[in-house]
Amino acid sequence: PGGLGGVGVIGLPWLQKLKAETGLLTCVEVATKAHVDAALAFGVDVLWIGARTTANPFAVQELADALAGKDVPVLIKNPVKPDIELWIGGIERIYRAGIRRIGAIHRGFSSADKTIYRNVPQWHLPIELRRRLPQLPIICDPSHIAGRRDLIQPLSQQAMDLGFDGLIIESHCNPDGAWSDAKQQVT
């Protein structure tokens, strides 16, 4: 789980070895130009921009500049706060950098209100994103919406019922021993 801000650059050789041994594609979160450069140097297949980074147009522009001329899929998470214009702005910045394989990740929105969710789904926002950008693949991250493993299945079903293109579900061989987000991981 997490990206270069979690384990850090030391995790990239692990991913490279995993990819060589299994043939699985690798994906990491990037938040700076240095992250992009390091991830691509280690052959990472897909990059994603996290919610806190998407909320900062200056950071997204730095990533767009670092990605200019590259051919790598980029997924853009919704910003932390429910702002569809900011989300679309992040997508547009990456598109203007020449990246054509772009997708969005819906991971819910932070709220001061107490709910059963870690991040409130606010399904109407990804639905509106789909209306405005109908060709854009949208993946749901029920793990981050839920914040707890028992809510992942019903949220996943709801996302699929709404026509999402896929799911990101955090997993770990020992979820309770995970270094981050242990409560929202499944085996």
How would residue 1 be classed by pLDDT, with cut points 50, 70 and 90? very low
Whether the per-residue pLDDT at 7 is higher than 80: the answer is no
Among 59, 38, 56, 58, smallest CA distance to 47 is for 38
Q: Which residues of 153-175 are buried (b: 16+ CB within 10 A; e: fewer)?
A: eebbeebeeeebeebbbbebeeb
Q: What is the mean pLDDT of residues 39-56?
A: 97
pTM (2 d.p.): 0.93
pLDDT reported for residue 9: 86
The pLDDT tens digits of the residues spanning 9-43 come to: 899 999 999 999 999 999 999 999 999 999 999 99
Q: Which residue pairs from 157-164 have beta carbons closer than 8 angstroms and sit at least 24 positions apart in sequence?
A: 158/121, 158/123, 159/106, 162/123, 162/126, 162/127, 163/130, 164/106, 164/126, 164/138, 164/139, 164/140
